[in-house]
Structure 1
Amino acid sequence: MPDSFVGAGLATEMPAEPTAVDSKARDLARELVSSLHGLRHVDLDTAGASLGLDIPGQQPDPSPVGEDVTPLSKQQRLDRAFDAISPSDYEAVCARFLQQGNLSIELRNRVEDLLWSRENWPPITARVRRELAEALDASGAIWSEADGLLNVVKRHWVLHPPAWSFDWKDPYEPVARHMIWNPDWTTIEFFKEVGALDGGDRRFALFLEGLLSGSVNPNEPRQRALVAAISPVLTRAGLKIVESGTTDGYPDFTIVGAGTRPRPAQLILFASPHAKPALRIRDVLDQSIEVLTGDDTVLAYDVPVGERGLTWRDVESWWSRRRDIPAAQAKRELWQRLANVCADVSPAQRALFGAYYDYAKGHDPLFALLPEVWLHWDPVSRAQRGEDAYLNQRMDFLMLLPGLRRVALEVDGQQHYATSAGEPSPRIYSVTTRGDRDLRLSGYEVYRFSGYELTEDRASDTVREFFDRLLHWA
């Protein structure tokens, strides 16, 4: 729970440390902390604050009277800072170093690979990569802007000068020589030489997106021809290319799982205390929706959510602007509103909501968990439409994560499997399972929790175990 959530009435104990420590995360965090050794003593305090590290001062704790006090060396200060990191926070520390943007290319790539390894990213096999290279070769040259091509390679792959050459000081010169000056590499050879045939799945996808970008191919028809050439291969691999925006007037293309929604969310209706909001289509051609009811009925987040997902900071900043109130007041107001909505629904939903924010405190970015989100809205009454008119109209919780991931969390109460009288109902259960299928086919990830898992003595462990695997840290 962030420090701003004061007075929310939630437990503030940190979740228990995992029993198995990821050695890669630990070793990389140690290396990153040690890399601060080049700073002056006076600069370590500032660096520690920006990275969330508890770096002790140069003067150690007071000693008994009469004993000499030896100032700590920089290495001793950094060693103590590392020892103070909880094993569950190693990856968060690595992420903060990455966000600072001061790492070498090689170290940056190692941190990225560690963090991306936790993502549920579809595998891209060597065969798929070779088939993609063949499809690109068949469509003609894969680049038209030399600087753009080199920049994409340098952004994603760490190259070293060949051992047999003493003349090439720039490790990327072979790429320039064989792809630009004297283009005699096939795309498969190009992929092999830069490491794209066996690099991480997420890195390869980003590299491929770079080749499709306007910086490498500043010609939209050419961009679309390349997309058309490789789309069938990606489809067979369970992936697809979506057009996700523009940069400098050229379309951006993103590779996502085949079930992912093709565009960012444009409007989120959430925190509804079960009252149906009144909506009106303002412009049919633009699919523009106007919310007629006030904030007491539903909140309408109307800022398009981009590739990086939706964070709590995004939502509270939006609320501050909407209400024209200071940021600190906005944090308190919004938190209380969301917590109250969850409490009105069920103790289990309130427990999941509170346990998540308590678990996630200290993580950056802190992705927003929005309660009671409207998914379907039908202006026709239930009597006219039938008893299934409003099935799955709201999600208990929604998270929008990087890469256009939409995650729905559902807390199962009796209404998901029984009648109001408490009798088990196969029909009601079938409606629940059908709704899950519809959501998944529409590109949502759906996860269900039982009320039993979210009792007071179980909620913290349930939430920690789930979000460790879902985010870790996205």
Structure 2
Amino acid sequence: MPTGKVGVDVEAEELVRELVATLHPLRHVDLDMVGATLGLAIPSEHPEPSQVENAESLSKRQRLDQAFLATPPSQYDSVCARFLERGGLSPELRSRVEDLLWSREDWPPITARIRREVAEALDACGEIWLEGDGLMALVKRYWVLPSSNWSFDWTDPYEPVVRHMIRNPGDWTTVQFFKEIGALDGGGRRFVLFLEGLLSSSVNPDEARQRKLAAAILPILNRAGLQVIESGTVDGYPDFAVVTVGTRPRPTQLILFAGQHGKPELRVSDVLDQSIEVLTGEDKVLAYDVPVGQGGLTWHDLESWWSHRREIPAGQAKGDLWRRLVQACTNASPAQRAFLTTYYEYAKDRDPLYALLPEVWLHWDPVARRQRGEDAYLNQRIDFLMLLPGLRRVVLEVDGEQHYATADHQPSPRIYSETTRGDRDLRLSGYEVYRFSGYELTKGRITDTVSEFFDRLLRR
């Protein structure tokens, strides 16, 4: 039964209740270990007399009930995400949890018409699969098919898909196939991930065929605000992703951030491979050289990278890296430092916690400013960068006087026009750009400003 808490998302509440209940088969000692991993405050089997009036041992049911009741609604999504990461859920429960979490994203709606036209475009290319096992694994991963969906009393609800798509290709059109598995009306994010699977080498291990299918559905998806991009390779085959229009087509390969004073020194060590060597030491700039893929860049990723790079324990790396980021912001401006610390205070209990990188070099030109001209240096270094799931690149700027006035504090239309033109260039290159005024980040306003903004940004 719902708890009756005011403002609670009833669907999320019921899911968390069911997830917690799945832990009942575990032993008491296992519950002691799993609680922290899942973000649950599971009480001890033997509570202290000072904690409860009756200090008798608690049953597993009582322990789990208390853990659920102690979970604040603000943590429901985080708990759901941790259960997903832990695995072991039934397909039906896993699907419901995924749909809940994906519903938080601001994903463009994909109408039934778009889905039908995508299916028809795929049909026009011939068979949509080369590996039957890959197709069935994809269907089972994203679509739960209860036996009641079928007119035949099959023991395995996926048997009709095997019969009509694998054993007897051509029995079903792709539209019929989509209809039978639920792809015509399922969640938009689930549909997109399913399409990515169809374009993958697991289902179609033939590059020419992958590209043909991707090209066929691209103009249709464009009408829904989506595009098909080549995001990398898997086992030598191209890897395709369906993302919102404007998203950068490649994963981030190198990030120069937390810059101190002066431009970093770089060298192209291999022109053919576009390999860049950073000559400036870590006292001046940090170089994150791990490719950032579809999942985005989290604080945990940064910690792990810094721990490995410096060969220090994770706990030490966390504090060491944090001090380095704060110092970079302190050197830049008090407003940037306040923005950084307020964001991490806001997001510290979120899972995942996406990294906010300060002082990031976005444009680097080896030729001197006087030779190249001012226009070549628009947005050479940005205040903050976030890399979010789906290859989203988010630029955050804290506007000081330098964005609209001269060094002697005189308003300058020229400087302001350069700022706005730089923003346009970034947006046209696939970046999301958001600006904050110094007034919004003053004491008494900054907490609300940061909370309201990131509540909306991270739901997308």
Match of 2:243 among 243, 256, 276: 256
Match of 2:109 in 1: 123
Q: What is the identity percentage for the equivalent residue pairs of Structure 1 and Structure 2?
A: 72
Mapped partners of 2:318, 2:331: distance in 1 = 20
Match of 2:389 among 402, 413, 427: 402
Mapped partners of 2:442, 2:118: distance in 1 = 49
Answer with 229-238 or 407-416: which moved more.
229-238
Q: Is the CA contact (8 Å cut-off) linking 2:265 and 2:280 kept in structure 1?
A: yes
Task: Answer yes or no: is 1:100 the counterpart of 2:64.
Answer: no
Match of 2:320 in 1: 333
Mapped partners of 1:164, 1:261: distance in 2 = 42
Answer with 338-347 or 456-465: which moved more.
456-465
How big is the shift at 1:295? 1.6
Match of 2:283 in 1: 296
Match of 2:357 in 1: 370
Q: Secondary structure at the match of 1:38?
A: coil
Q: Is the CA contact (8 Å cut-off) linking 2:39 and 2:78 kept in structure 1?
A: no
Answer with 315-324 or 398-407: which moved more.
315-324
Q: Is the CA contact (8 Å cut-off) linking 1:399 and 1:407 kept in structure 2?
A: yes
CA deviations on 1:42-93 (whole Å, 9 max, x unpaired) are 322122122121011223441699x864433323222221222222111001
Q: Is the CA contact (8 Å cut-off) linking 1:416 and 1:429 kept in structure 2?
A: yes
Match of 1:133 in 2: 119
Q: Is the CA contact (8 Å cut-off) linking 2:228 and 2:242 kept in structure 1?
A: yes
How big is the shift at 1:125? 1.7
Match of 1:354 in 2: 341
Query: 1:64-463 residue pairs with structure 2 within 5 A?
Result: 69-162=55-148, 165=151, 167-183=153-169, 184-463=171-450
Mapped partners of 1:20, 1:388: distance in 2 = 51
Q: Is the CA contact (8 Å cut-off) linking 2:359 and 2:383 kept in structure 1?
A: yes
Q: Is the CA contact (8 Å cut-off) linking 1:118 and 1:469 kept in structure 2?
A: no
Q: Is the CA contact (8 Å cut-off) linking 1:373 and 1:398 kept in structure 2?
A: yes
Q: Secondary structure at the match of 2:24?
A: helix
Counterpart AA for 1:471: L
How big is the shift at 1:214? 1.3
Larger RCO (alpha carbons 8 Å, 6+ apart): 1
Stretches of structure 1 that go unaligned for 5 or more consecutive residues are 1-17
TM-score normalised by length of structure 2: 0.93
Counterpart AA for 2:397: E
Q: Secondary structure at the match of 1:351?
A: helix
CA deviations on 1:196-235 (whole Å, 9 max, x unpaired) are 1111111101001111111111222222221122122223
Mapped partners of 1:287, 1:309: distance in 2 = 22
Mapped partners of 1:64, 1:105: distance in 2 = 38
Q: Is the CA contact (8 Å cut-off) linking 1:436 and 1:446 kept in structure 2?
A: yes
Mapped partners of 2:161, 2:418: distance in 1 = 56
Q: Secondary structure at the match of 2:374?
A: coil
Counterpart AA for 1:143: W
Q: Is the CA contact (8 Å cut-off) linking 1:44 and 1:55 kept in structure 2?
A: yes
Mapped partners of 2:54, 2:369: distance in 1 = 81
Counterpart AA for 1:413: G
Match of 1:41 among 16, 25, 28: 28
Answer with 136-145 or 446-455: which moved more.
446-455
How big is the shift at 1:351? 1.0
Describe the shift of the 1:212–1:388 C-alpha distance in structure 2 as closer, same or farther (beyond 3 A).
closer
How big is the shift at 1:157? 0.7
Q: Is the CA contact (8 Å cut-off) linking 2:197 and 2:203 kept in structure 1?
A: yes
CA deviations on 1:117-137 (whole Å, 9 max, x unpaired) are 122222222111111111111
Mapped partners of 1:316, 1:371: distance in 2 = 15
Match of 1:13 in 2: none
Match of 1:8 in 2: none
Q: Secondary structure at the match of 2:128?
A: coil
Describe the shift of the 1:81–1:416 C-alpha distance in structure 2 as closer, same or farther (beyond 3 A).
same
Mapped partners of 2:382, 2:54: distance in 1 = 63
Counterpart AA for 1:307: Q
Mapped partners of 2:174, 2:241: distance in 1 = 20
Q: Secondary structure at the match of 1:180?
A: helix
Describe the shift of the 1:204–1:381 C-alpha distance in structure 2 as closer, same or farther (beyond 3 A).
same
Task: Answer yes or no: is 1:54 the counterpart of 2:45.
Answer: no
Mapped partners of 1:115, 1:231: distance in 2 = 26
Mapped partners of 1:111, 1:64: distance in 2 = 33
Match of 1:11 in 2: none
CA deviations on 1:265-295 (whole Å, 9 max, x unpaired) are 1111111124111222222222222222212
Mapped partners of 2:36, 2:334: distance in 1 = 37
TM-score normalised by length of structure 1: 0.90
